[in-house]
Amino acid sequence: MRNIEKIELELTRLNAARSLVDIPRQLEVLPAGGTVLLRDRTDAGSSYYNRIKGFGPEDLAVLDTLLSHYPEAAPCFDMTPHHMTEEVGRALSEKGFIPAEQLAFLYVNLQDRVEQAPGFQIEMVTEETAEQYIEWIRKSAGGLRVTREMIVRSREYFHREDFLNYMLSIDGKPASMGSLFLSGNEGYLANDYTFPEYRGRGCQSALIKHRLTAAAERGAATVYTDVEFGSASHANMERAGFRMAFLNTYWIAK
């Protein structure tokens, strides 16, 4: 579980740096005793970039101190099973936090299962196609406002050796996309999205297999991901060979 938390934190840093936002994110990662505080100084309201990770029974005495690091808006408590106890749940509830979302963290050992993805046109994003990919992101977000300044600031992050992005087209039109983050001999699948008109046609499954093959070719032995528990993405990942590592819960303020 520790490896998943470590690479997920690395990916969070990268996501902050590449964000398509007006003001560049200022993500701080602050160790505080047994916890790690994520704090975005430009966006106090983001539950993803304002999280407390690693909070457990041994930190109950400093709960108020931890919360004081977030004066503008309450953070999200990113709770993994080995930190969650009845006492912890009671303390968070008394502070006005409720369990709002469950994420399944999954893993696959690549020597167990790697398959090629048949039948789809899949292209890795390059320097030449980075802006096209950003347009796909804009479209997937319902017409997100993206300025030229945002594009110039962010495009280099979409074709790095440690952050590979893929576009799946059908009849020349955007159908699905996803990312592969690499760190040492481990990988992380993220940012999966299929446009509504192409859902149910195997696009995500094809991209999963394609990225697992790419990860294996680049020396990764284990790949992780996180999905909404019980979702279609959860089922797709398990069909591709992923297995449950643990189920975490986001606790947010009411």
Question: pLDDT digits over 164-204, tens only?
Answer: 999 999 999 999 999 999 999 999 999 999 999 999 999 99
CA–CA gap between residue 35 and residue 11 (Å, rounded)? 18
Residue 118 has pLDDT above 80, yes or no: no
Q: For the residues 52-78, what does the mean pLDDT come to?
A: 97
1 vs 216, more confident = 216
Write down the mean pLDDT value for the chain.
Answer: 95
How high is the pLDDT of residue 143?
Answer: 86
The mean-pLDDT minimum among 49-53, 93-97, 107-111 falls in 107-111
How high is the pLDDT of residue 31?
Answer: 94
Q: For the residues 54-81, what does the mean pLDDT come to?
A: 97
Burial class (CB in 10 A: 0-12, 13-18, 19+), 122: buried
Q: Are 224 and 187 in contact (CB under 8 A)?
A: yes
How high is the pLDDT of residue 170?
Answer: 94
> Token pair of 246, please?
């643990």
Dihedral sign of CA atoms 90, 5, 52, 235 in order: negative
In tens, the pLDDT along 194-247 reads 999 999 999 999 999 999 999 999 999 999 999 999 999 999 999 999 999 999
The mean-pLDDT minimum among 18-22, 127-131, 141-145 falls in 141-145
Residue 1 has pLDDT above 70, yes or no: no
Q: For the residues 136-160, what does the mean pLDDT come to?
A: 96
Confidence band (pLDDT; 50, 70, 90) for 111? confident
* Stated pTM of the model: 0.94
Residue 114 has pLDDT above 90, yes or no: no
Q: Are 76 and 52 in contact (CB under 8 A)?
A: yes
DSSP code, position 194: E
What count of other Cβ atoms lies within 10 Å of the Cβ of residue 82?
12
Residue 122 has pLDDT above 80, yes or no: yes
